[in-house]
Amino acid sequence: MVDSTAVAAALNALRIEVPSWAFANSGTRFKVFAQPGVPRDPYEKIADAAQVHRFTGAAPTVSLHIPWDAVSDYGDLAKHATDLGVGIGVVNANLFQDDDYRLGSVAHADPRVRGKALDHLYECLDIMAATGSPDLKLWFADGTNYPGQDDIRDRQDRLAEALSAVYARLGDAQRLLLEYKLFEPAFYTTDVPDWGTAYAHCLELGPRAKVVVDTGHHAPGTNIEFIVAFLLRAERLGAFDFNSRFYADDDLMVGAADPFQLFRIMYEVVRGGALAPESGVTFMLDQCHNIEPKIPAQIRSVLNVQEATAKALLVDRPALSAAQRAGDVLGANAVLMDAYNTDVRPLLARLREDQGLDPDPMAAYARSGYPEKIVAERVGGRQAGWEA
Ligand code: RM4
Ligand code: MN
């Protein structure tokens, strides 16, 4: 039996952080398509993010990416967010868009470049202090393209040295979140290519270093829910970067490519107790909306996470464990599939109504007038994008 009051409470408590860069122009290696009404600065990005929270009631924080979201007064930016009913979440460092980083950043062979990279990470810590952000998220583009290009092992030493320097400066309530990605932009070696490498560095650092699972950062066919279960058991899962993919790091809307995979991941989250706020696991979106309108795409993504979570919560866990203990392979699988095959949209619509929200956030946003307002108002200036 599933306790429906507990399911409702867990869904009402679910919080999903949105990325500032999802509201800016983005594209592929081939083309960035500009969209009308796109924000021109971090203040406008936060205003758009606040719309996602306004219609879902579930997205109260925004991740920043530095220097994309560089401003002269971070306290003022945080106040702007609060005025709009949202807060600043994770601060993402960016060590991949400076000419100096052609051969890497924290793992570069040249101590001058490593020093510059470390200074950027320290700057991110200052921004966290000014905005009240709890977490520093690190993804390194570092790696090599050709065998022999650099010493694989020396690069690990340099990486470890930079990580421990940053870790030493963390405040007591702050965390270091280390993200991995199989490849890209480096093609031969990547310095943090997988969860095992990230986990090993986090273990060396200490308890406030946790792994980020970006769902798009694995080889095709990887069992991501296994990684989630393992890291939760080891108390080293810090956060998710949600998105979905058909091929590599596609950064499409979460739950679009494979809603069943998202359900399986969320089931391990539920099983591992990671929906509880005290677990410290943060649920974030890391997506780019290259061809679709950005604000509704973020709303859709929040709804997709809610739907997968609702299904995961509907798994009859006592029945599942009984079937598992009895070695009832088909019975156990049926318990899981029953939950997955439940239409949870009416349940989520009811919960929204109970909170005074529109039961259909997509439709409510489309009717709100906001899309037309930003197109009319945001004329002139330079639209925000990857280089902004
Ligand atoms: C990386 C990684 C990071 C994100 C950048 C833009 O692939 O997913 O989390 O900040 O892309
Ligand atoms: Mn990511």
Q: Closest Cα to atom 5, ligand 1: which residue?
A: 139
How far is residue 309's CA from residue 296's CA, in Å, rounded to a whole number? Answer: 20
Is the Cβ atom of 179 under 6 angstroms away from ligand 1? yes
Per-residue pLDDT tens for 140-195? Answer: 999 999 999 999 999 999 999 999 999 999 999 999 999 999 999 999 999 999 99
Separation between Cα atoms, residue 264 and residue 262, nearest integer Å: 5
Nearest ligand 1 atom to the CA of 94 is 10
Mutation choice for ligand 1 from 182, 286, 287, 289, CB with most ligand atoms inside 8 A: 286
| Closest ligand 1 atom to Cα of 251 | 8
Q: Using a 6 Å cutoff on CB, does residue 249 contact ligand 1?
A: yes
Question: Distance, CA 286 to ligand 1 centroid (Å)?
Answer: 7
CA dist list (Å): 189 to 146, 156, 182, 305, 373 = 8, 11, 9, 32, 46
Among protein residues, the one with the nearest Cα to ligand 1's atom 2 is 139
Q: Does 286 sit in the ligand 1 pocket, CB within 6 Å?
A: yes
Instruction: Output the six-digit token pair for 244.
Output: 């979905």
Residue nearest to atom 1 of ligand 1 (CA): 139
Which ligand does the CA of 242 lie closest to? 2
Helical ranges in the chain per DSSP H:
4-13, 42-56, 74-83, 111-131, 152-169, 195-205, 224-233, 259-271, 294-313, 317-325, 329-340, 345-354, 361-367, 370-377
Q: Which residue owns the Cα nearest ligand 1 atom 9?
A: 139
- CA 7 to ligand 2 centroid distance, Å: 28
Tens of each residue's pLDDT in the chain, 388 residues: 899 999 999 999 999 999 999 999 999 999 999 999 999 999 999 999 999 999 999 999 999 999 999 999 999 999 999 999 999 999 999 999 999 999 999 999 999 999 999 999 999 999 999 999 999 999 999 999 999 999 999 999 999 999 999 999 999 999 999 999 999 999 999 999 999 999 999 999 999 999 999 999 999 999 999 999 999 999 999 999 999 999 999 999 999 999 999 999 999 999 999 999 899 999 999 999 999 999 999 999 999 999 999 999 999 999 999 999 999 999 999 999 999 999 999 999 999 999 999 999 999 999 999 999 999 999 999 999 976 4
**Contact indicator for 64, 91 with CB cutoff of 8 Å:** yes
Would the CB of 92 count as within 6 Å of ligand 1? yes
Residue 184 CA, closest ligand 1 atom number: 7
Dist. CA 311 → ligand 1 center (Å): 28
Asked if residues 329 and 313 have their Cβ atoms less than 8 Å apart, the reply is no
Regarding the beta carbon of 251 and ligand 1, being less than 6 Å apart is answered no
Q: What is the DSSP string of 157-180?
A: HHHHHHHHHHHHH--TT-EEEEE-
- 71: helix, strand or coil: coil
Tell me what pLDDT residue 78 has.
98
Pocket-testing residue among 139, 191, 192, ligand 1, by greatest number of atoms within 8 A of Cβ:
139
The pLDDT assigned to 388 comes to 44
To test the pocket of ligand 1, the residue of 29, 101, 181 to mutate (highest count of ligand atoms within 8 Å of its CB) is 181
Residue-level pLDDT at 386:
76
Question: Which residues surround the ion ligand 2 when the cut-off is CB under 5 Å?
Answer: 214, 241, 286
- Rounded to the nearest angstrom, the distance between the alpha carbon of 102 and the centre of ligand 2 is 20
- Total-model pTM: 0.98
The finding on whether 241 has its CB within 6 A of some atom of ligand 1 is yes
Q: Which atom of ligand 1 is nearest to the CA of 181?
A: 7
Select from 96, 97, 179 the residue to mutate for testing ligand 1; criterion: most ligand atoms less than 8 Å from CB.
179
pLDDT for position 1: 85
